[in-house]
Chains A and B, each alone.
Chain A
């Protein structure tokens, strides 16, 4: 199954900072406020999602509640680092970005679709986190306290991804076709949602000295590699993920030019 440019267009708005300015107009201060807002409240959503997963699978509940606790601590440490640097997180921006993700999480939770949540949170959302936290560490010393907060979070996110990968590998051992079907199903909205968020922060990332394009590539390639780790062939993984990212990239270029 593939999703098209036309299917996805218009599902998201152009990102705006809390003050209502579009991302192309954001100052460096507005950009870091938006990024920190997304990181802080995104970690809270991640905690909520792992709790939802724990409520579906008793056998993994204890571990997943620990994951939720780790995510909540990330949010708290990001908030402390943010305030220590005089950055007030842009909650309005974060809410606008995270609403679409929360809707998808809530739907899978209601359907008790654990594996869809595993891919959405454990792969797609974590890929976004890793793709941004990792390069941010290179400039984090500009913000006292940020290096420790983000390096801890990055290590934890990688641990979560490793567990999800192992879970999916065991569950879909010798059932790669079924796994591909699951990934394609989740990706349609998941990449539009989370990848769309990455596009919406790309210029903010540029503003604070990172590369939005490199982060986008990190998420696209990182997520495709995770699907490969579970058993998909490189071609199938890249093809599916790229076909869903392509409309986002095109839309970004147009909005940037427009």
Chain B
């Protein structure tokens, strides 16, 4: 693979990007190497995102921030998650980094302050925190966003395709995270106590995204905070109960955190 050449990226937009076993081996990047995969100006013509799709690019810039932090934490503290799905998350981050997103536009948008605040609470410092904050909560939040984005007809085909692939990459991680969580953190009531301790702050920061998400993405392509939360909670409850936590308790924790209690 030639670094910087989007044609060689399995996930390049416009290419058939279903990962082929073995392909992703090439995409196991060291932290920082992703910069080499950024497209040069003009390469964006190869992308299916229309130049006028600033809001869609803003979505992908936003997701890239979450995904970069997740990959960084996985590489540092939970390598099984970085390697899950033959390095699906690495490939996905590389692909997001290759998009012609505008970090300055994101920083100037109303999405920036709540995103900064949320990510500041998600600087997981040990494996348990990474498994619960990134591997459980934020991966399922991302899946909710990808699922809503994939399902909206007002998004471009390129964005819907991206969302589909982001969802697949995230699912590979959450499957590995569930296995590792059961092994390393436990299950049932013990896990619930650890889960609540580690995730309360992050969940309590979600509310600040409500207005900016609706304002920026709601009218443009129907991605609304309430719909994302519906998807997110349904998924998180399913994932949590699969790990032996009680459904009612998970809902109580989510409700309490979202109410700021």
Which chain B residues border A70 with CB–CB below 8 Å? none
Given contacts A249-B207, A249-B259, contact A2 B230 (CB under 8 A): yes
Contact code string A244-258 (vs B, CB < 8 Å = 1, else 0): 111101101110110
A4 to B211, CA, bound (A): 11
* Contact for A5 among B224, B233, B235, CB less than 8 A: B224
Given contacts A212-B259, A250-B207, A253-B260, contact A2 B227 (CB under 8 A): yes
B226 within 8 A of A: yes
Looking at the assembled complex, report how far the CB atom of B50 sits from the nearest CB atom of chain A, in whole angstroms.
26
Contact code string B218-261 (vs A, CB < 8 Å = 1, else 0): 10000011110111111101100000000110011111101111
Q: Which residue of B lies closest to A218 (CB)?
A: B248
Pair A256/B226 contact, Cβ less than 8 Å: no
Q: Which of B207, B227, B229, B230 has the most CB of A within 10 A?
A: B230
A3 to B225, CA, bound (A): 10
Q: Which residue of B lies closest to A4 (CB)?
A: B224
Which chain B residues border A234 with CB–CB below 8 Å? 234, 237-238
Pair A4/B260 contact, Cβ less than 8 Å: no
Pair A221/B259 contact, Cβ less than 8 Å: no
Looking at the assembled complex, report how far the CB atom of A128 sits from the nearest CB atom of chain B, in whole angstroms.
14
Looking at the assembled complex, report how far the CB atom of A83 sits from the nearest CB atom of chain B, in whole angstroms.
32
Pair A5/B225 contact, Cβ less than 8 Å: yes
Pair B255/A240 contact, Cβ less than 8 Å: no
Which chain B residues border A245 with CB–CB below 8 Å? 255
A214 within 8 A of B: yes
Main DSSP-derived SS at the A contact region: helix
Q: Which residue of A lies closest to B252 (CB)?
A: A217
A72 within 8 A of B: no
A216 to B214, CA, bound (A): 24
Pair A217/B233 contact, Cβ less than 8 Å: no
Pair B210/A247 contact, Cβ less than 8 Å: yes
Which chain A residues border B207 with CB–CB below 8 Å? 249-250, 253-254
Interface size on B, as a range, is 20 to 34
A79 within 8 A of B: no
Which chain A residues border B261 with CB–CB below 8 Å? 206, 211-213, 256
A218 to B251, CA, bound (A): 8
Contact code string B152-172 (vs A, CB < 8 Å = 1, else 0): 000000000000000000000
**A contact residues, total (Cβ < 8 Å):** 37
A129 within 8 A of B: no
A242 within 8 A of B: yes
A10 within 8 A of B: no
Given contacts A3-B226, A4-B227, A244-B226, contact A252 B234 (CB under 8 A): no
Pair B259/A216 contact, Cβ less than 8 Å: yes
Pair A246/B247 contact, Cβ less than 8 Å: no
**Chain A positions 18-43 with a Cβ under 8 Å from a chain B Cβ:** none
Given contacts A239-B231, A239-B234, A246-B230, contact A216 B224 (CB under 8 A): no
A176 within 8 A of B: no
Q: Which residue of A lies closest to B232 (CB)?
A: A242
Looking at the assembled complex, report how far the CB atom of B215 sits from the nearest CB atom of chain A, in whole angstroms.
9
Looking at the assembled complex, report how far the CB atom of A2 sits from the nearest CB atom of chain B, in whole angstroms.
5
Pair A213/B252 contact, Cβ less than 8 Å: yes
Looking at the assembled complex, report how far the CB atom of B93 sits from the nearest CB atom of chain A, in whole angstroms.
28
A127 to B90, CA, bound (A): 45
Pair A243/B259 contact, Cβ less than 8 Å: no
Given contacts A240-B230, A242-B233, A252-B259, contact A217 B225 (CB under 8 A): no
Given contacts A235-B234, A253-B259, contact A4 B226 (CB under 8 A): yes
Given contacts A4-B214, A247-B226, A250-B258, contact A238 B233 (CB under 8 A): yes
Q: Which residues of B contact A (CB under 8 A)?
A: 204, 207, 210-211, 214, 218, 224-227, 229-235, 237-238, 247-248, 251-256, 258-261
Q: Which residues of A contact B (CB under 8 A)?
A: 2-6, 199, 202, 206, 211-214, 216-218, 220-221, 234-236, 238-247, 249-250, 252-254, 256-257
Could you list 19 examples of A-B contacts with CB < 8 Å? Answer: A5-B211, A5-B214, A6-B218, A6-B224, A213-B259, A214-B255, A217-B248, A217-B254, A217-B255, A220-B255, A235-B235, A239-B230, A246-B229, A246-B230, A247-B210, A249-B207, A250-B210, A252-B259, A257-B260
